[in-house]
Each structure stands twice: as structure tokens, then as C-alpha cells.
Structure 1
């Protein structure tokens, strides 16, 4: 499973655009990848739109902090914007692809050998 984290607590500029999330979630199964949407309750409208267009599984708004850590530890990889969740996944040893827009990855990228940054 590949986690796809939708939101960002500190601004919409850190959020991956919905069209790209939909594209990723459509292509994933064709490549043998099962995407799973992750996010806070505030991300539920975005998740509903992605699920409607792709039939992707969503755990958005359903996870507690303890459950989130367990889910991240089981993911093959996490795809996320510049979020705290990306740092948590990297700290757990889960490979992370972090997508950066206007923020500087040199200042806030997850650390570790499992972190890949795209700016």
C-alpha cells in the first residue's frame, strides 16, 4: 500500500493539487500499487472527491494519532506534501516522497535515508 496524505495544517500552498492525486490514484492500480488516502477530518471533502473519481480507499478523518503511526509503519511508501505526517513516516523508517512547492526543502524536508524530496 502507498499512503497518499492529502492535507497540510499550515496552508493550501503545501497541498498537492487534487488533479494530480486523482491521476496518481488512477495509475497506481495499473502498476500494482494500492493507494490509500490519509488525512485529517478537514480533508474529508477532498478525499470524497478523489474516492468518487477513482474508487480509492480512504482512511481520511478516521485515524487517531496511535492508529496513524501504525498505518504509516505498514505503508510501503508515503507520498505527501510538506507535512508533519511526512516527518513521522520518515522517523518510522517508512520511505517518503515529499512534494514541495513554495516552501524550501532545505529548511523543512524530512530527514533520513528513506526520504525523497521533489521540489
Structure 2
């Protein structure tokens, strides 16, 4: 069970890094950091564990989150990250326009498969 949680967290961590890198091309590192901070704040009202996400200048780590989830295996990891990703793309679309946000979403779907963006 722990290996499954670790693999999920690792996959989402990779996805978040890709989102950061793609967004940074349009917004710059500082603005992307603020965007991630905003989304963490939004999602934390429902999922406190999202506050364990560490991010700074393109580096995102879910290590503390993975440790917390091992203690609470009933946490809906997929729902939490899907809400994060959805909220991120919604705000990103407002900032850079739907066309550019769609390009990023398409690239993420190609690389990560069944992500409902």
C-alpha cells in the first residue's frame, strides 16, 4: 500500500514540476510561485495536507506530503491533486489566456495520460 502511495505522489510531483516549467515560460518564476501559493491556499480549506507541498523557484517537493499520507492512507490523494491541478489551470487561463493554457493542458495530458483537465 505504501508503495502505491509513493508512486502516486511521485507521479503528481513530476506533473507539478512540468506545470511549473510550462507556466514559467509565460509568467516567470516569481509569478508561478505566487500562483502555486494561491492554489495551495485555496485547496487547503478542504485538504490541509496540501500545505505540506514545498515549492520555491521551480523546485517542488511532495516528500512531507507523502510521509503524512502514509499515516493517513484514507486521504483521497487523487481528488486533492485533481482539485489542485484544475484550480491551477483555471487561474492560469485567466492570466495568460485560454489558448496558451490549453496548450499547456494538452501537453500535460499527452505526457501524463488520464488527467481530467
Tell me which interval the TM-score lies in, with the shorter structure as reference length: 0.3 to 0.5
Which TM-score applies when normalising by structure 1? 0.34
The structure whose residues are more often helix, as a share, is 2
In the superposition, the TM-score normalised over structure 2's length comes to 0.35
Larger-gyration structure (1/2): 2
Q: Which of the pair is proportionally richer in strand?
A: 1
